[in-house]
Amino acid sequence: MTPDIILNDPFIIADRTFTSRLMIGTGKYKDMEETRQAIETSGAEIVTLALRRTNIGQNPNEPNLLDVISPEKYCILPNTAFCYTAEEAVRTCRLARELLGGHDLVKLEVLGDEKTLYPNVTETLKAAEVLINDGFNVMVYTSDDPLIAKRLEDMGCVAVMPLGAPIGSGLGISNPHNIKLILENAKVPIIVDAGVGTPSDATLAMELGCAGVLMNSAVAHAQQPVLMAQAMRKAVECGREGYLAGRMPRKAYASASSPIEGTIS
């Protein structure tokens, strides 16, 4: 039987309710079929794509990802990967809105350099302001700096997405303490985006209290992407359930598993 606490645990982004807290990218797969299978197996409902590298209708003669990942089935989240200035990111979001018939949920990422793919926070703040004023619902990729995360929330971003580690690194969550600090003051969903390498990384993010996890490389570059998609689905669910259940207190000393108190007589 599913406990009520799980049944009453909606994941809401920009007034839309989702069941899955795993969000997944579409890059780096062997082919479209593998992309389709992995995404379906992951159970993700929000699927992100880099508009600058993915054809969703800009090139009518090329295969269109939306033929495989249908907007009727998934919430498509266009992202601004490969944008290095606020201006490029804003232009990319506007193009996405046009191509997707007015869809206004976007993932903003403005990158600093090609080596680290770290967010350029100054340009991210600029772009977020323009996009919010233009009516977009902005989910924003950012550093794990708690002050910047709060500022992005206060500006009106609908979700704040601190990195776990650099995009594509698979290094896991390098600074869980910062993620905790971000979570402490957050009123919007905090989603770890980037750097997840293993299911246990995803579980940790969820156990910390994150609302969700967004990943791409850990699934697409696994030796068995579809199997990894399944593992990630379970890992995110498992971490969420563990978070809601509440961990036992840590103790400095042992405590017998069958103590006298509480013995059933």
The residues annotated with a catalytic role in the active site are: 107
Residue 194 known to bind ligand: yes
Among 188, 216, 229, 240, binds ligand DXP (CB under 6 A): 216
Segment interacting with ligand DXP, rule: CB under 6 A, options 9-17, 97-105, 213-221, 226-234: 213-221
Contact pick of 75, 99, 103, 168 for ligand DXP (by CB under 6 A): 168
- Scanning 60-68, 172-180, 204-212, 216-224 for contacts with ligand DXP by CB under 6 A, the matching segment is 216-224
Binding residue (CB under 6 A) for ligand DXP from 48, 92, 137, 203 = 48
CA–CA dist 193, 179 (Å, integer): 11
228-238 burial, b at 16+ Cβ within 10 Å, e below that, comes to bbbbbbebbbb
* Amino acid, res. 173: I
Tokens 């593992």 belong to 231
Is 172 a residue that touches ligand DXP (CB under 6 A)? no
Contact 211, 191 (CB under 8 A): yes
Name the residue nearer to ligand DXP (CB basis): 194 or 231. Answer: 194
- Residue 113 identity (one-letter amino acid): D
Could you say which DSSP state residue 105 is in? E
Kindly state the smallest distance separating residue 161's Cβ from ligand DXP, in Å.
Answer: 8
Contact indicator for 111, 120 with CB cutoff of 8 Å: yes
Distance CA 210, CA 206 (A): 5
Q: Is 20 labelled as part of a ligand binding site?
A: no
**Which candidate, 244, 183, 239, places its Cα nearest to that of 215?**
239
DSSP 8-state code for residue 66: G
Which of the ranges 38-46, 215-223, 230-238, 256-264 carries the binding residues for ligand DXP, by CB under 6 A? Answer: 215-223
By CB under 6 A, tell whether 45 contacts ligand DXP: no
**Tokens representing residue 57 in the block:** 């209708």
Q: Select 54 or 132, whichever has its Cβ closest to ligand DXP.
A: 54
Number of residues near ligand DXP (by CB under 6 A)? 17
Q: Which residues bind ligand DXP (CB under 6 A)?
A: 25, 48, 79, 81, 107, 109, 141, 167-168, 193-196, 215-218
